[in-house]
Amino acid sequence: MNIIGPDLLVFGVDDVPACHEFLTAYGLTPRDYSPENGGFYDSLDGTGLEIRRRNDPSLPPALKTGSMLRLTVLGVTDQAALRDVAAELRKDRQVLHLADGTLRCQDDQGFELAFQVTIRKPIALEGEKVNAPYHPARPVNALGVTQDMPAHPRTLSHLVLFVPDIETAVNFYCNRLGFRHTDTLGGAGPFLRPQANPDHHTHFFIRTPPYMQGIEHLAFHLGGPTELMLAGSRMMEKGYESFWGPGRHKFGSNWFWYFKSPLACNVEFDADMDTHDDTWAPREAPMGPEAANAFLFQYRAKWAPGPGPKG
């Protein structure tokens, strides 16, 4: 099943202007925004978020838990892939063909899903280049960092869901939609990637009581660790609040920095995630500080040693 990953996440929120402020500071580009109706927030390849008021009649029904995630739109490679998804899911549920060409249905736990031929547009920007001894990756005279260098989210990477039933979630995504299982954090849940995306994960599930069902966090990829550190530092300087990070995860090797948000979930900067193919053998480790972080730091305001005592 040639699914690539999330193209768009749609939220119904309590405070549209607050979300606009936050997502703009996070580095997404607003499109068709108004304080009354919300709008779209695009990353560089066209994937992104859609923010509407909680009671917007255009939105699919909300979960009963208060989670603001209303719809996950998954991109597939082409029309043939879309037909494959439709044929598989029609076996046991209603799948709507909407006028805009998308498919609409629910997964096995009541999350609203849509499928579309992906809107991702490959971007020409190269990734961060690191000079190592004897192996410089940057051309001579090319700078590694400048204070004002851009650090925009490049593509929607992954979402993490609180789910009451991991087995049901894994069965749906792996056995019905062909996702691959990359690793497992025991006590939390599995990392999954769709077949047409080598990223370590586009989905991760955390087992919770039913009253918590919803989105735990979402993440966009940046161009590298330096962009991630700059983007997060700029958020801190503006008064936004870190939840976790900066650091680097073990499973996936992705650098991370999570911020709390008015979307009622964490929003993560992510960079340099591992990629895998079907020869990969899943690992398992118990969820906890040791398994979750290769290293973890906490932000502090800029500081430098002074010239020392006078005289």
Partner 1 sequence: MGARAGTQGVSAMLCRMEDLAEGSARGVEVAGWRAKVILVRKGGQVYGWRDLCPHYAGGTPMAWKRDAYLNGAGTHIACSAHGAWFEIDTGVCVQGACLGKRLTRVPLRIDEAGGVHLDRPPREERP
Judged by the rule CB under 8 A, the positions of this chain that interact with partner 1 are 13-15, 18, 22, 65-68, 162, 208-209, 211-212, 214, 216, 239-241, 243, 259-262, 264-266
We find the least distance from the C-beta atom of residue 122 to partner 1, in angstroms, to be 32
* DSSP per-residue codes, 59-110: SPPPPTT---EEEEEEEESSHHHHHHHHHHHTTTS--EE-TTS-EEEE-TTS
DSSP code, position 26: H
Q: 120 vs 260, which CB is nearer to partner 1? A: 260
Q: 114 vs 215, which CB is nearer to partner 1? A: 215
We find the least distance from the C-beta atom of residue 126 to partner 1, in angstroms, to be 32
* Residue 171 CA: distances (Å) to CA of 158, 178, 204, 251: 19, 10, 13, 21
Q: 44 vs 71, which CB is nearer to partner 1? A: 71
- Which residues have C-beta within 8 Å of that of residue 127, sequence separation ≥ 6? 223, 224, 272
276 closest CA partner among 188, 193, 174: 193
HSE-CB at 147 with a 13 A cutoff on CA atoms is: 1
We find the least distance from the C-beta atom of residue 277 to partner 1, in angstroms, to be 33
We find the least distance from the C-beta atom of residue 237 to partner 1, in angstroms, to be 11
164 closest CA partner among 219, 223, 206, 227: 206
Q: 18 vs 123, which CB is nearer to partner 1? A: 18
Q: 18 vs 119, which CB is nearer to partner 1? A: 18
We find the least distance from the C-beta atom of residue 141 to partner 1, in angstroms, to be 39
